[in-house]
Amino acid sequence: MEYLSIVFQEVYKILFLLVPVLVSVAMIVWLDRRVWAFVQKRQGPNVVGPFGLLQSLADALKYIFKEIIIPSSSNKVIFILAPIVTMTLALIAWAVIPFSATQVLADINVGILYLFAVSSLGVYGIIMGGWASNSKYPFLGAIRSAAQMVSYEVSIGVIIINVLLCVGSLNLNDIVIAQQNMWFVIPLFPMFIIFFISALAETNRPPFDLPEAEAELVAGYQTEYSGMMYAMFWLGEYANILLMCAMGAILFLGGWMSPIDVYPFTLVPGAIWLILKILLLFILFALVKAIVPRYRYDQLMRLGWKVFLPLSLIWVVLTASYLFYFNLLPVN
């Protein structure tokens, strides 16, 4: 009986986290399209509901009623598993995101490593989908994205080391609290820029959307998918984008902390600040999509390995020497 009540409590907490995440993924798709449209002097989706807010729900309804087509020469088990893996990995990462000092589902010691691990597993959904489709375009898209995501993970990992040097802990709440006096975006500004660009590449967003470059690969790894399975890829992708924004907000923008530590601002709950910071980063993501043309593949690889990796490694040495020389290394 005791176990059951614990299980029920945890399930309640998980639902309380996952339902808002899923709803906000639907809203964020709408926001993405609206921002994109406004940059191009269009209206964007504005018909369904107030300001078109319910457009994503209408789309979801359409996807549910569409037929799921499984290609006859595909590897059926892996073909069906691929969108499930993408979606699950995008959602389980939210378990460690702290919404305030106490509001966190799993306050684990190695929170940032968990986030990094789950985001690096995200590539499997794409590879599985691309390979199991047994078709040329999806396969090319999967191969491209495997190389791309592995390359940019390296620089994200090194950037995380930069932040960890200043914090001295792998716990996400500790990382947030370490930014009490100054957000890390100020001393580590170049790293923030590199993190932002690497996050774009990691989530296959334009200008790095080569795995699904429609001019060359039809739709990349999701070409053979239809109906709800396609929608699950889509949801997983946007949940991943939100997750990268949350990671950026926690690592560089002070997470759930208010921008200034004075009376009226401290009343606002931490979750609101975190959501605002995630939204700010997401609008930047959407703007980049609207204003930057797509990269060529060799340029993408050059940027990842020859520019970002050396830069972030040099910055690690600089940060470490600075902290060591001025005796600022966090010791506990």
Partner 1 sequence: MIAHAIFFYTFSIIAVVSAIMVTASKNTVHSVFFLILDFISISCLFIMIGAEFLGMIMLIVYVGAVAVLFLFVVMMLNVAQQKNQWFAGQATSKHIPVGLIISTLIFFEIIIVIGGWKYKPEIFDINNSLANTSLSNTHSLGQILYTDYIHVFQISGMILLVAMIGAIVLTFRQRSGVKKQSYIKQISRERAEGVEVLEVQSNKGVKIDD
| Interface residues toward partner 1, by CB under 8 A | 3, 78, 108-110, 113-114, 116-117, 120-121, 123-124, 127-128, 131, 139, 143, 146-147, 149-150, 153, 157, 170
Supply the minimum distance, in Å, between the C-beta of residue 248 and partner 1.
19
Cβ nearer to partner 1, comparing 29 with 128: 128
Helical ranges in 203-269 per DSSP H? 214-217, 227-252, 263-267
Cβ nearer to partner 1, comparing 152 with 256: 152
Determine the Cα angle at 279 with ends 274 and 285, to 5°: 130
Cβ nearer to partner 1, comparing 114 with 137: 114
Cβ nearer to partner 1, comparing 131 with 238: 131
**Closest C-alpha to 248, from 302, 189, 329:** 189
Coil vs helix vs strand at 80: helix
Cβ nearer to partner 1, comparing 266 with 299: 299
Cβ nearer to partner 1, comparing 272 with 314: 314
Supply the minimum distance, in Å, between the C-beta of residue 194 and partner 1.
19
Q: Count of CB atoms within 10 A of residue 26's CB?
A: 17
Supply the minimum distance, in Å, between the C-beta of residue 157 and partner 1.
8
Supply the minimum distance, in Å, between the C-beta of residue 114 and partner 1.
6
Supply the minimum distance, in Å, between the C-beta of residue 305 and partner 1.
12
Supply the minimum distance, in Å, between the C-beta of residue 297 and partner 1.
13
Coil vs helix vs strand at 245: helix
Helix then strand then coil, in percent of the chain rounded to 5, is: 70, 0, 30
DSSP 84-108: HHHHHHHHHGGGG--SSSS--S---
> Is the dihedral angle over the CA atoms 26, 144, 125, 80 positive or is it negative?
positive
Residues 6 or more apart in contact with residue 310 via CB below 8 angstroms: none
